[in-house]
Amino acid sequence: MRVVCVSSAATHAFSKAAISQITLLEGLGVEGDAHCGALVKHRSRVAADPLQPNLRQVHLISEEWLQELALAGFDVKPGQLGENITTSGLDLVRLPLHAVLRFGPHAAVRVTGLRNPCAQLDHFQPGLMAAALERDAHGALVRKAGIMGVVIAGGLVRAGDGIELTLPEGPFQPLERV
């Protein structure tokens, strides 16, 4: 399990620029990123309640999902879907609530939930929204556009860093949209 790419954007742009490293700030998110802060920063959530806690400080997507998109005919590079960290070797959307991901020697993110895909995906590339959603064998909606988390330990994160996964004590709670 490793970090493939790190990305950040100071403004509320859909895509984030791939950069050499990001700094995670405990309780806040990615230093300099538009979504950094203790209180919610996503515009739709700010409109609903600007005083709610920011459970979406860090957005993570797996390289494996980007590869799945490529096989379906989409051209999506790391960071282009707004994620801060692109991972490899980890099935992010199947992690349980409160799993902890450690990056390098210091940084850590606690998983808070699934990214809820929105229509902006289709503005980026037509049909991408449908590719981010599917139904399981029981008909339940499966969101595949990555996960969200909060920073529980600050530090630098770079492409190539290893990822250490710590699962919470059971019983595991599945991720819901956040």
User: Residue 48: its pLDDT value, please?
Assistant: 84
- 175 in a domain, yes or no? no
- 178 in a domain, yes or no? no
- 177 in a domain, yes or no? no
| pTM: predicted TM-score of the whole model, two decimal places | 0.95
| Domain CATH number, residue 57 | 2.40.33.20
- 31 in a domain, yes or no? yes
CB 38 within 8 A of CB 29: no
Cα separation, 117 vs 130, whole angstroms: 9
Which range marks the domain in which residue 25 is found?
Answer: 2-166
CB 106 within 8 A of CB 19: no
Number of domains observed in the structure of the chain: 1
| Cβ contacts of 105 within 8 Å, gap of 6 or more | 155
117, pLDDT greater than 90: no
Output b/e per residue, 93-104; b: 16+ Cβ within 10 A.
Answer: bebebbbbbbbb
Each residue of 140-169: pLDDT tens digit? 889 999 999 999 999 999 999 999 999 999
Cα separation, 145 vs 83, whole angstroms: 9
